[in-house]
Amino acid sequence: MTSDPAEATGGPGPGPLPGDRSAGRHRLPVRVIGYWRVRGALLSVGLVGVSALMAWQTSWFTTTARWTVVSVLAVLLAVVVLVAPPIRYRIFW
């Protein structure tokens, strides 16, 4: 019997980690995808709201350029809110 953890596992280096066993891995419920979508949507509304306020109040570039930036940002955030949570769920959990 030895107190060295490297010898206790049969070789050099640390032993197996808790996530190494697939049976012992904790799976998140599928409803997490909905939570991630709602959280992303709320954060996106705030971000688009701030950028719209800046486009309305500031005088940088032209009016068309300002609102194009806001529109592109809104579309990109909508795509991310719809597409990213299922991919995130499959890859990481």
Length of the chain: 93
Whether 11 maps to a domain, the answer reads no
Assess if residue 30 is contained within a domain. Answer: no
Q: What is the pLDDT of residue 60?
A: 85
Total domains in the chain come to: 1
Domain that holds residue 52: 41-93
- For residue 55, what pLDDT is reported? 95
pLDDT of residue 14: 76
Which pLDDT value is given to residue 43?
97
Rounded CA-CA distance 66/51 in Å is 9
- pLDDT value for 38: 95
DSSP letters for 49-79: HHHHHHHHH--SS-HHHHHHHHHHHHHHHHH
Sites in the chain below the pLDDT cut of 50: none
pLDDT of the residue at 8: 54
Domain assignment of residue 78, yes or no: yes
Specify the pLDDT at position 81: 95
